[in-house]
Every structure is written in structure tokens, then in C-alpha cells.
Structure 1
């Protein structure tokens, strides 16, 4: 875009050109992926915890059951994160033992 076109469009400054190394781009992608995964896991833990708290509160308030539920979820996530089990394995177990079919697996 030349100077005349920028004036016509009301653009006062040029956008600065920034050079970024491929390793910096890869690091940004890795960071964004990690943050996205953590956010997704938090959502998938907080939402069921809220449902249990709101809908089944009288059952879950006894003896700190909600806290134990969250701790158990964190233990399962840690097993997944460390590579002891895969999501496919857990989905298969749920289907076989509990009769719950998770779509996508």
C-alpha cells in the first residue's frame, strides 16, 4: 500500500515489520497448546463439580465428598498426563463396565 492509499484510508502509521524466528513461533505454539489444554481440563473438572454441588449437594456435602471427587479427578488426570493411561483406554473402560458411550471414541 503506497502513501496515497494510506492517506485516503486515514492510516497515519505503517504497521511495523517484525521478524520472528521459527523456534520462537514453535515456542508460542507450545505455550498456547499447554494453556488451552489446562483450560479445557479445568472446565471439564469445574463444570461437573458445580453440577454435583448444585444438583446433588445434599448427597455430596457429607464427609467432604466434593473435595474427594476433585482429588480423584486430579489423580486420574495425573495418570493420563504421565502416560499410564490414554483417553481411549478410559473411554473403553467406561463403555465396558458402566455402559456409558462417549462420542468420539
Structure 2
């Protein structure tokens, strides 16, 4: 983009050009992958644990138990996705109310 185009679009500064080594890109990918895996595992563990803590009585009826458990887990996950709860809040609640401490929480 030349100077005339930048003026027309109202851009005051040029975007700086940054050089990054391939090893830095690989390291950033590994860190992002590790962080994503930890987050996914914590969600996979915390959400069902919270469902069992909150709704265990509903799950005791043998017929349809698995379906109800899946529905309750999806309901808990929807709350997480919509921002009603966070992983930190789940961890604190599980620790305070159920006495469960999950290692590896952020």
C-alpha cells in the first residue's frame, strides 16, 4: 500500500515489519498446542465433575442414566460457552463444596 492509499483510508502509521525465525514460530505453536490441550482436558474433567456434584440424584435412576448425564454435561458446557461460568469458578466451587481439587488448574 503506497502513501496515497494510506491517506485515502485514513491510516496514519505503517504496520511494522517483523522478522521471526522458524524456530520461534515452532516454539509458539508448541506452547499454543500445550495450552489448548490443558484447557480441553480441564474442561473435559471439570464439567462432568460439576454435573455429578450438582445433579447426582437425577442420575440415580438406571433407565436413561447415560442420556441424562450427557444432557446435563452439555447444559453445563453451554453455560461455560456463554460465559456464565469460568474454569476458575468451577475449580473453586468443586474445591469448596465437593472437596475435589483438580491438579493443573491455571
Scaled to the shorter chain, the TM-score interval is: 0.5 to 0.7
Higher RCO, Cα 8 Å, sep 6+ = 2
- Stretches of structure 1 that go unaligned for 5 or more consecutive residues are 60-64, 75-105
Q: Rg: which structure is higher?
A: 1
State how far apart, in whole Å, the 2-side matches of 1:11 and 1:56 are: 58
Count of matched residue pairs: 64
Q: 1:35: which partner in 2? A: 35
Runs of 4+ in 1 over 3 A off after TM superposition: none
- Stretches of structure 2 that go unaligned for 5 or more consecutive residues are 60-97
Q: 1:55: which partner in 2? A: 55
State how far apart, in whole Å, the 1-side matches of 2:39 and 2:5 are: 43
TM, length-normalised to structure 1: 0.55
TM, length-normalised to structure 2: 0.54
SS state at 1:56 partner:
helix
Alignment of 1:88-99 (within 5 A): none
